[in-house]
Amino acid sequence: MINLFGYRVSWAQLAWFGHRASGLGVLLFLFLHIVETSTVLLGPEVYDLTQTFYKNLPAKIGEVLLMAALVYHSLNGLRVIVMDFWPSTTVYYRPLTYGVIAATVVAMVPLGAIILTPYLPWG
């Protein structure tokens, strides 16, 4: 596999790094989300205005990324949990890792399509 930072990166290591990055990313969004949702206390006008910021293609791409991050994080989190509570499953860490990555991709195809289609120039 690729050789990053001078150490060959295995899929499992990549999976861990992805878990970490997606977790932090989602957390960051969570902070933003709370700020943005707080406008709901300021009445419909302000809130509806903030919501329009989300209704364009770049924002929707961000939304898909967020979705992907969360889907991946939760699937991989489930993999970690399974191994944690049934250590003998660690023997299958490679297929499990491939499975998580593949499942994320597969899940994101329809989900991405649903979110993006209305905003695509040709959509």
Partner 1 sequence: MTTTRRPRVIYANPSRAARPRPEASGRERFWWYFMRLSGLALVFLALGHMFIMHVLVVLTGRQIDFAFVQSRWGTPFWRMYDLLLLLLALAHGVNGARIVIGDYVTHRTARGLLLAVLLAISAIWLVAGIAIIAFFDPGAS
Partner 2 sequence: MDVTLRIRRYNPEADEAPHWEEYTVSAEPTDRVLDLLHQVKWYQDGTLTFRRSCAHGVCGSDAMLINGRNRLACEYLVRDAGTTITVEAIRGMAVVKDLLVDMEPFWDSLKQTMPFLVNDEIPADGRERRQSQADRERYEDTSRCILCAACTSACPIFWSDQSYVGPAAIVNAHRFIVDSRDTAKQERLEIMADPDGVWRCRTTFNCVEACPRDIKITKAILEVTQEIGKAGIR
Q: Report helix, strand or coil for 66.
A: helix
Query: Shortest gap between Cβ of 77 and ligand HEM (angstroms)?
Result: 3
- Residue at 97: amino acid letter: T
Burial of 76 (0-12, 13-18, 19+ CB in 10 A): buried
Binding site for ligand HEM (CB under 6 A): 19-20, 23-24, 26-27, 30, 70, 73-74, 77-78, 80-81
For residue 25, give the 3-state DSSP assignment: helix
Residue 8 engages partner 2 in binding (rule: CB under 8 A): yes
Query: Is the distance from CB of 104 to CB of 15 less than 8 angstroms?
Result: no
The β-bridge partners of 3 are 8
Residue 83 lies near partner 2 (rule: CB under 8 A): yes
The footprint of partner 2 on this chain (CB under 8 A) covers a number of residues equal to: 19
Residue 5 phi/psi, 5° resolution?
Answer: 55, 30
Q: Which does 121 bind (CB under 5 to 8 A by kind): partner 2, partner 1, ligand HEM, none?
A: none
80 binds partner 2 per the rule CB under 8 A: yes
Contact status, residue 72 vs residue 100, Cβ threshold 8 Å: yes
Is 114 among the residues that bind partner 1 (CB under 8 A)? yes
Q: Give residues in contact with partner 1 (CB under 8 A).
A: 20, 23-24, 26-27, 30-31, 34-35, 37-38, 40-41, 43-44, 47-48, 51, 54, 63, 66-67, 70-71, 74, 77-78, 80-81, 84-85, 111, 114-115, 118
